[in-house]
DNA sequence: AAAAAGCTACTTTTT
DNA sequence: GTAGCTTTTT
């Protein structure tokens, strides 16, 4: 990492090389509001990164003037790493991070103005729920009538709309109660010095809104605001961006309305339209050149998404050629579907596809079980996304709770979590007494300990002493030392040593120490930097002083404008606060099993942003995908369709779609019909591996599908794994000719003499084209297409 | 305080 | 079908 920027060494053509005209246009736009509609696989991240590099290279921006916002830490890290590799300067002068990460950073720097203690803690979703439960218990609220989960949703929703309790207009008694509890909850958080996720954003927004000099400072600084995944922003995030943009700064927003799949958690696609209007966007650039998928896959995606209304409009194209057809399989049961998937995966592997390049996608997590089971039996390594994450494990949360108490003893969530873990004779009754006292004196539980008398009081005092001792002993320790000390002094390590199945947990605790060491090194702290003081950067003579705007209304001293000197870019938090924030804001990997060479199993949501050589989209049934619950929501079906669009566009070369006639769901067998999405795909791109049965014929005249549960190779019309044949498939050649003739395998046809039937095979081309048709009443026959007057039934 | 039994929910999820 | 939670039992 050099701190001397040598701009003359940068080679301009290299940066813009290999960009297509649209990408080039986007990267080199003037500093004005711009909306980049970036289709799936269109090189969105590349444009974003090159844009930043270009701005700096051209001298149009200094790193300190850049603010780039992403949704996930992963995306932020990737952006940071790629920029660091691209630019010969220290990229730390830029603010690149998630909305929450950046707001945290700002709130730490201005905690006084924001009305927060320097050591405020961040509640993750689980912490927040337990805080709410504790609140309701204290107020004797009936959890049956007012479920804590609903209140949590209510509060988060209000905050994401920018509404404080006083701003919510409650229409009925029920909502009035919720507003009342919202108010009490906010007071509790304030007293404890904790903030939940939406609070980070709202508090930061209000900080800027209510503090003109501070707002002016940041507006003057962040001349270039770039936003990734703009379609996923919620109302509050949009308002925050708008505030930072002010009248003078430009926002470079990148997004794809067709990939908006998070409306259910507050994402507002409408922000794209609003942005266009409110910012008078003159530069709307569509990135429609796709570098990921073959033609048939893209055609399928394009035609499907065309069924949605109110799109900003976009059509992906590729130079890659048609490629393989999209293969479709109808299974009798979910088990059989899994069996087919595994056979196809085996075939893919045998033709050289890497396991990790194969993904099995499903709409809901419950569907993974059957597939996992079948994969295990077949001895194929796999990896499921979406399990418990590292920082969410109970032993880790326990250890973090001790660390939090050292930093902020008023954090009652942390206090309640470990006051009696490991057990130290402080039972439910003692804790209730303490909670009562805390309520009486309107203070935290830790502060209420002296008010509890008797035996309960003395055991509680013992706990207070323990925390006090930890605080004193760790005063000068580095972060990893602190973590190691706390794990031992809390009794956690001893507890898990004696526990029968504590070995894994013990290892995780050791891993936490490693994580702390890794954090210290990644943040560039010295190894012995005390965990609980704001560190001195190399070269700095005094600790950075954060002068708040209220101390002197005319001065806001933050980080100095000379961004290239790390000493001038002060930290805004202690290593411990940073680490605790990191633990809350980035819960870690959520991969159940490690191992690179494994088939990837995940929900469609989790697959967003990823790509695979071969993709299976499973469970394509009405009620499941599209999900039945989506029918109740406004635009629910359109979001399901976007979800399907996301799923399809994950595939590079091969796409498989499957559904099952019956499926185990919630402990009982359900009978489903195939997803409507099949009818929205271009039929000429589909290759039915099982006969396509028309909706009308489903419950009549079929005698084939019963009794094949075990032997999926015996499915009618199914001729074995499609990949076992070489890539230049004869079958596919047939498909081409079939497309010419207007017919395809699996298609329902009508013959004036033989009646209704299904095409089971096609042969030859042009005038020699023949079709094998299985008629309902007259058996299978070969017919010359030039002679027989076959009519498509569709 | 730990273990066992009973009850209930159940789409998607990052921060 | 089953995980997670609460209640009951030891």
3-class DSSP assignment, residue A108: helix
Measured CA A399 to C1' B2 distance, in angstroms: 22
Between the CA of residue A771 and those of A128, A685, A728, A729, A788, what are the distances in Å? Answer: 64, 19, 21, 18, 10
Listed in sequence order, the residues at least 6 apart from A538 whose beta carbon sits closer than 8 Å to its beta carbon are: A526, A566, A567
Residue A443 lies in a domain: yes
Q: Are residues A230 and A85 in the same domain?
A: yes
- Say which DSSP state A673 is in: P
Tell me how far apart the alpha carbons of residues A747 and A269 are, in angstroms, rounded to a whole number: 38
- Is A595 annotated to bind a ligand? Reply is no
Tell me how far apart the alpha carbons of residues A661 and A706 are, in angstroms, rounded to a whole number: 10
pLDDT classification of A545: cutoffs 50, 70, 90: very low
What is the pLDDT averaged over residues A98-127? 93
pLDDT classification of A289: cutoffs 50, 70, 90: very high
Q: Are residues A493 and A601 in the same domain?
A: no
Is residue A657 scored above 90 in pLDDT? yes
Residue A694 lies in a domain: no
Q: What is the pLDDT of residue A701?
A: 36
Ranking A145-149, A567-571, A600-604 by mean pLDDT, the lowest is: A567-571
Domain that holds residue A334: 326-389+591-688
Is residue A374 scored above 80 in pLDDT? yes
Q: Are residues A385 and A401 in the same domain?
A: no
Token output for A459: 């055991």
Q: What is the pLDDT of residue A776?
A: 61
Domain boundary residue, one of A488, A504, A523: A523
Is residue A742 scored above 60 in pLDDT? yes
Element at A732 (helix H, strand E):
helix A730-741
Q: What is the pLDDT of residue A738?
A: 41
Is residue A733 scored above 50 in pLDDT? no
Ranking A24-33, A429-438, A476-485, A615-624 by mean pLDDT, the lowest is: A429-438
List of A residues 665-704 with CB within 7 A of strand C:
666-667
Q: What is the pLDDT of residue A7?
A: 47
The more confidently predicted of residues A698 and A296 is A296
Ranking A131-135, A599-603, A733-737 by mean pLDDT, the lowest is: A733-737
Q: What is the pLDDT of residue A418?
A: 94
CB atoms within 10 A of CB A423: 9
Tell me how far apart the alpha carbons of residues A284 and A269 are, in angstroms, rounded to a whole number: 16
Question: Which protein residues, judged by their CB atom, are less than 7 Å from any atom of strand B?
Answer: A 71-74, 98-101, 124-125, 197-198, 262, 264-265, 363-366, 386, 420, 423, 425, 427-428, 585-587, 590, 602-603, 605-606, 627, 629-630, 633, 666-667
Residue A720 lies in a domain: no
**Average pLDDT across chain A, whole number:** 85
Q: Are residues A384 and A505 in the same domain?
A: no
Q: Are residues A220 and A86 in the same domain?
A: yes
Residue A11 lies in a domain: no
Token output for A204: 């930061």
User: Do A225 and A99 meet the contact criterion of CB atoms below 8 Å apart?
Assistant: no
pLDDT classification of A710: cutoffs 50, 70, 90: very low
Indicate which CATH number applies to the domain containing A168: 1.10.10.160
Residue A519 lies in a domain: yes
Beta bridge pairs of residue A784: A770
Per DSSP, helices labelled H in A364-427 are 368-378, 394-407, 412-418
Q: What is the pLDDT of residue A539?
A: 53
Q: What is the pLDDT of residue A131?
A: 94
Measured CA A323 to C1' B11 distance, in angstroms: 33
Per DSSP, helices labelled H in A352-499 are 368-378, 394-407, 412-418, 428-440, 445-448, 454-473, 479-489, 492-498
Active site residues of A: 44-45, 228-229, 259, 650
User: Do A380 and A356 meet the contact criterion of CB atoms below 8 Å apart?
Assistant: no
User: Do A776 and A783 meet the contact criterion of CB atoms below 8 Å apart?
Assistant: no
Between the CA of residue A512 and those of A52, A179, A390, A520, A579, what are the distances in Å? Answer: 35, 39, 9, 12, 11
Ranking A73-82, A229-238, A565-574, A680-689 by mean pLDDT, the lowest is: A565-574
Indicate which CATH number applies to the domain containing A679: 3.40.50.300
3-class DSSP assignment, residue A112: coil
User: Do A361 and A617 meet the contact criterion of CB atoms below 8 Å apart?
Assistant: yes
Token output for A157: 């929703």
Tell me how far apart the alpha carbons of residues A63 and A94 are, in angstroms, rounded to a whole number: 5
What is the pLDDT averaged over residues A739-743? 56
Is residue A66 scored above 70 in pLDDT? yes
Q: How many residues does chain A have?
A: 794
Quote the number of domains for chain A: 5
pLDDT classification of A527: cutoffs 50, 70, 90: confident
Domain boundary residue, one of A151, A170, A192: A192
Is residue A654 scored above 50 in pLDDT? yes
Ranking A18-27, A213-222, A284-293, A527-536 by mean pLDDT, the lowest is: A527-536
pLDDT classification of A737: cutoffs 50, 70, 90: very low
Tell me the CA end-to-end span of chain A in Å, nearest whole number.
64
Nucleotides of B under 7 A from a protein CB: 1-2, 9-15
Q: What is the pLDDT of residue A572?
A: 72
- Say which DSSP state A248 is in: T
User: Do A419 and A450 meet the contact criterion of CB atoms below 8 Å apart?
Assistant: no
Is residue A376 scored above 60 in pLDDT? yes
Is residue A195 scored above 90 in pLDDT? yes
- Is A44 annotated to bind a ligand? Reply is yes
- Is A45 annotated to bind a ligand? Reply is yes
Using the CB atom, is residue A710 less than 7 Å from strand C? no
Q: Are residues A365 and A464 in the same domain?
A: no
Q: Are residues A128 and A152 in the same domain?
A: yes
Sign of the torsion formed by the C-alpha atoms of A709, A711, A713 and A716: negative
Q: What is the pLDDT of residue A109?
A: 87
Rounded percentage of chain A residues whose pLDDT exceeds 90: 66
The more confidently predicted of residues A73 and A541 is A73
Q: What is the pTM of this model?
A: 0.85
Tell me how far apart the alpha carbons of residues A34 and A70 are, in angstroms, rounded to a whole number: 17
Q: What is the pLDDT of residue A2?
A: 43
Is residue A771 scored above 80 in pLDDT? no
Tell me how far apart the alpha carbons of residues A596 and A591 are, in angstroms, rounded to a whole number: 11
Domain boundary residue, one of A238, A264, A289: A289
3-class DSSP assignment, residue A394: helix
Q: Are residues A211 and A176 in the same domain?
A: no
Q: Are residues A398 and A496 in the same domain?
A: yes
Residue A14 lies in a domain: no
Which nucleotide minimizes the distance between its C1' and the CA of A373?
A: C1
Q: What is the pLDDT of residue A71?
A: 94
Tell me how far apart the alpha carbons of residues A63 and A85 are, in angstroms, rounded to a whole number: 14
Q: Are residues A638 and A787 in the same domain?
A: no
pLDDT classification of A611: cutoffs 50, 70, 90: very high
Token output for A561: 């404008």
Whose tokens are 């870019």? That residue is: A569
Residue A705 lies in a domain: no
Q: Are residues A88 and A131 in the same domain?
A: no
Q: What is the pLDDT of residue A683?
A: 96
A736-773 CB burial, b ≥16 within 10 A, e <16: ebbbebebbbbbbbebeebebbbbbbbeebeeebbbbb
Q: Per-residue pLDDT tens for A244-275?
A: 999 999 999 999 999 999 999 999 999 999 99
Q: What is the pLDDT of residue A551?
A: 44
Q: Are residues A77 and A216 in the same domain?
A: yes
């Amino acid at each position: 990492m050099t701190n001397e920027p040598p701009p003359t060494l940068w080679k301009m053509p290299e940066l813009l090389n290999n960009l297509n005209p649209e990408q080039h246009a986007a990267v080199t736009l003037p500093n004005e509001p711009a909306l980049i509609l970036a289709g799936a696989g269109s090189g969105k991240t590349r444009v974003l990164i090159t844009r930043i590099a270009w701005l700096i290279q051209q001298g149009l921006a200094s790193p300190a003037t850049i603010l780039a916002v992403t949704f996930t830490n992963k995306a932020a890290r990737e952006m940071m790493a790629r920029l660091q590799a691209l630019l010969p300067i220290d990229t730390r002068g830029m603010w690149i991070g998630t909305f929450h990460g950046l707001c945290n950073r700002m709130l730490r720097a201005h905690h006084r103005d924001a009305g927060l203690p320097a050591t405020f803690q961040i509640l993750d979703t689980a912490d927040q729920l337990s805080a709410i439960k504790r609140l309701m218990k204290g107020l004797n609220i009936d959890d049956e009538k007012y479920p804590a989960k609903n209140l949590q949703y209510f509060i988060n929703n209000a905050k994401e709309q920018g509404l404080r309790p006083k701003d919510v207009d409650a229409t009925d008694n029920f909502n009035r109660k919720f507003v009342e509890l919202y108010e009490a909850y906010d007071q509790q958080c304030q007293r404890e010095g904790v903030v939940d996720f939406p609070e980070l954003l709202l508090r930061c927004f209000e900080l800027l809104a209510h503090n003109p000099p501070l707002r002016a400072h940041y507006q003057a600084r962040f001349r270039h605001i770039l936003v990734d995944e703009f379609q996923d922003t919620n109302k509050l995030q949009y308002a925050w961006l708008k505030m930072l943009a002010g009248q003078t700064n430009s926002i470079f927003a990148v997004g794809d309305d067709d990939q908006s799949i998070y409306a259910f958690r507050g994402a507002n696609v409408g922000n794209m339209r609003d942005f266009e209007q409110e910012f008078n966007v003159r530069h709307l650039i569509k990135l429609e050149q796709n570098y990921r998928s073959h033609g048939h896959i893209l055609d399928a995606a394009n035609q499907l998404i065309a069924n949605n209304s109110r799109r900003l409009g976009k059509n992906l194209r590729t130079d890659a050629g048609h490629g393989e057809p999209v293969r479709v399989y109808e299974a009798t049961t979910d088990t059989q579907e899994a069996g087919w998937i595994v056979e196809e995966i085996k075939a893919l592997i045998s033709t050289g596809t890497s396991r990790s390049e194969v993904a099995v996608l499903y709409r809901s997590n419950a569907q993974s079980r059957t597939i996992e089971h079948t994969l295990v039996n077949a001895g194929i390594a796999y990896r499921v996304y979406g399990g418990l994450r590292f920082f969410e494990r109970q032993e880790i949360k326990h250890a973090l709770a001790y660390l939090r108490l050292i930093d902020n003893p008023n954090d009652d969530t942390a206090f309640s979590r470990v006051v009696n873990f490991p057990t130290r004779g402080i039972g439910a009754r003692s804790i209730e007494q303490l909670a009562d006292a805390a309520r009486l004196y309107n203070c935290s539980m830790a502060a209420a300990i002296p008010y509890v008398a008797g035996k309960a009081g003395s055991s509680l005092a013992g706990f207070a002493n323990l925390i006090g001792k930890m605080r004193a002993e760790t005063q000068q320790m580095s972060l990893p030392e602190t973590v190691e000390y706390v794990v031992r002094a809390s009794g956690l390590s001893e507890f898990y040593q004696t526990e029968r199945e504590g070995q894994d947990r013990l290892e995780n605790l050791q891993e936490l120490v490693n994580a702390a060491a890794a954090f210290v090194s990644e943040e560039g702290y010295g190894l012995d930097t005390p965990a609980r003081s704001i560190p001195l950067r190399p070269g700095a003579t005094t600790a950075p002083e954060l002068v708040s705007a209220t101390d002197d209304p005319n001065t806001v001293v933050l980080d100095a404008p000379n961004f290239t000197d790390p000493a001038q870019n002060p930290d805004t938090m202690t290593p411990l606060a940073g680490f605790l924030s990191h633990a809350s804001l980035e819960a870690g990997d959520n991969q159940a099993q490690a191992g690179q060479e494994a088939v990837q199993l995940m929900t469609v949501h989790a697959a967003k942003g990823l790509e695979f050589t071969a993709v299976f989209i499973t469970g394509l049934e009405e009620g499941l995908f599209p999900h039945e619950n989506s029918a109740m929501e406004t635009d629910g079906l359109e979001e399901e369709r976007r979800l399907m669009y996301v799923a399809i566009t994950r595939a590079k070369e091969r796409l498989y779609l499957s559904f099952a006639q019956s499926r185990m769901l919630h402990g009982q067998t359900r009978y489903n019909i195939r997803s409507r999405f099949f009818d929205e795909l271009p039929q000429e791109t589909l290759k039915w591996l099982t006969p396509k049965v028309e909706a009308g014929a489903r419950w009549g005249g079929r005698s084939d599908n019963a009794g094949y549960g075990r032997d999926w190779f015996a499915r009618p019309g199914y001729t074995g794994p499609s990949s076992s044949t070489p890539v230049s498939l004869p079958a596919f050649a047939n498909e081409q000719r079939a497309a010419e003739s207007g017919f395809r395998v699996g298609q329902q046809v009508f013959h004036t003499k033989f009646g209704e039937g299904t095409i089971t095979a096609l042969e030859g081309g042009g005038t020699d084209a023949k079709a094998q048709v299985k008629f309902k009443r007259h058996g299978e026959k070969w017919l010359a297409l030039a002679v027989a007057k076959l009519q498509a039934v569709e």
